[in-house]
Amino acid sequence: MPKISAEKLNAELSKGTTAPVYLLTGEDLYRKDSVIKQLQTILHPDDFNFFKAQPTSQDINEALAQANTAPVFSDVRLIIIAGVDKLRKGSKEQLALIKYAQNPLPTTTLVLTHNDAKKIKTDKTLADACAETGRVVNFDELKADDLAAWVRQYMAAQGLKPNFDAVDLLCESVGSDLHALENEVEKISLFTAQRTDKTVTAQDVLACIGFKKDENPFELSNALTACSKARALAQIDKLIDGGEEPVSVLAKMTYPILKMARIKRFAEAGMAQGDILRAAGLMFWESRLVQNARNFPPQKNFAAALNKLIDADAGFKSGANLDPKTALKGIVLTLLK
């Protein structure tokens, strides 16, 4: 049984198909926990046939002793050992796991979780053993399009109909922590519970994550990518007058400007839209930015604006006597002449 993708594993589990050994690698704890819950649902182990262990010598010895024992008044036994990445390479505990994985008991399902992506690449002995008789599945943190697709699918499963801007905003606000995203979707679901129309907008997301309607944290970024000089200048006034630190406002400006510069460079090189999306690390609904690249300022403007970004960053961090509005607005005026 080879190493397989997370999608293939989900397809197998949805059919009730299980393997005697699983090694779940990667840093996405949420999806690994979901696999374990699916296995518990499929196998229905009772208290006599379920054991969860930590990667200590005593726990692993007990776990393997149970794994090698036929289930009690049941057809299956489920054993989980969390965090096996903590085991030292070549230790007796790791060697015992490898030995068991090479010849597992058919009535036992052993699940190992490994949370260190770098370590699994340099020490493949356990992974190779598990791949021979079971399933090795990697769960890296979801990024860009994959993260957006997960959010959209999860929201749809809750009966919600998010638009692209709502998903975009939710991903940017919360990041790739799926547990946190699940909590935010739950809040959105409660927020829209009394509605017949379950469409979720960016304003709904803002309301649920604690921003007022006129406090969109991405308004400055949106103004820059829309090449709206007036909106960007007004937003700088609003943020500074509202007490936001100049270095924080500068950070809100840096990412969209760099993103626009990349898109402009790739577009001028004649790359196709799909290739630009991949090369620039954009989400699929950001294709509108690629389409708008012809309206972006020329590369010389980006170069000059980036120099001002660097100078402003150094000035703010060194405590130089810079007027924040003048420095920040100077970047906008240089970029969007």
Spell out the SS3 assignment of 118-158. Answer: HHHHHCCHHHHHHHHHCEEEECCCCCHHHHHHHHHHHHHHC
Has residue 300 got a pLDDT over 60?
A: yes
Q: What is the DSSP letter of 84?
A: G
Tell which of 138, 154, 186 closes a domain: 138
Mean pLDDT across 266-290: 81
Exposure of 41 by Cβ count < 10 A (0-12 exposed, 13-18 middle, 19+ buried)? exposed
Contact 22, 111 (CB under 8 A): yes
Q: Is residue 11 part of a domain?
A: yes
Judgement on whether residues 133 and 159 belong to the same structural domain of the protein: no
pLDDT in tens, 111-149: 999 988 778 877 889 999 999 999 999 998 888 788 889
- Measured between alpha carbons, how far is residue 105 from residues 35, 95, 142 in Å? 20, 17, 34
pLDDT in tens, 176-197: 889 889 989 999 999 998 899 9
Q: Is residue 214 part of a domain?
A: no
Judgement on whether residues 245 and 326 belong to the same structural domain of the protein: yes
Residue 136 phi, psi dihedral angles, 5° rounding: -115, 120
Judgement on whether residues 7 and 92 belong to the same structural domain of the protein: yes
Mean pLDDT across 317-333: 90
Judgement on whether residues 153 and 69 belong to the same structural domain of the protein: no
Judgement on whether residues 109 and 9 belong to the same structural domain of the protein: yes
Judgement on whether residues 226 and 175 belong to the same structural domain of the protein: no
Q: What is the mean pLDDT of the chain?
A: 89
Q: Is residue 39 part of a domain?
A: yes
Q: Please count the structural domains in the chain.
A: 3
CATH code for position 148? 1.10.8.60
Has residue 94 got a pLDDT over 90?
A: yes
CATH code for position 249? 1.20.272.10
Contact 120, 25 (CB under 8 A): yes
Judgement on whether residues 134 and 7 belong to the same structural domain of the protein: yes
Q: Is residue 213 part of a domain?
A: no
Tell me the helices (H) and strands (E) count for the chain, helix number first: 17, 8
Judgement on whether residues 13 and 107 belong to the same structural domain of the protein: yes
Tell which of 186, 208, 230 closes a domain: 208
Judgement on whether residues 114 and 43 belong to the same structural domain of the protein: yes
Contact 148, 168 (CB under 8 A): yes
Tell which of 178, 208, 238 closes a domain: 208
In this prediction, residue 213 carries a pLDDT of 47
Judgement on whether residues 134 and 225 belong to the same structural domain of the protein: no
Q: Is residue 251 part of a domain?
A: yes
Q: Is residue 164 part of a domain?
A: yes
CATH code for position 99? 3.40.50.300
Mean pLDDT across 91-107: 95
pLDDT in tens, 56-90: 889 999 999 999 999 989 999 999 999 999 998 88
Query: Could you give the angle at the alpha carbon of 265 between the alpha carbons of 263 and 271, nearest 5°?
Result: 75
Judgement on whether residues 90 and 59 belong to the same structural domain of the protein: yes
Domain membership of residue 296 as a residue range: 219-335
Mean pLDDT across 276-283: 78
pTM: 0.64
> To which residue do tokens 């004649």 refer?
270
Q: Is residue 81 part of a domain?
A: yes
Judgement on whether residues 195 and 277 belong to the same structural domain of the protein: no
Q: Is residue 35 part of a domain?
A: yes
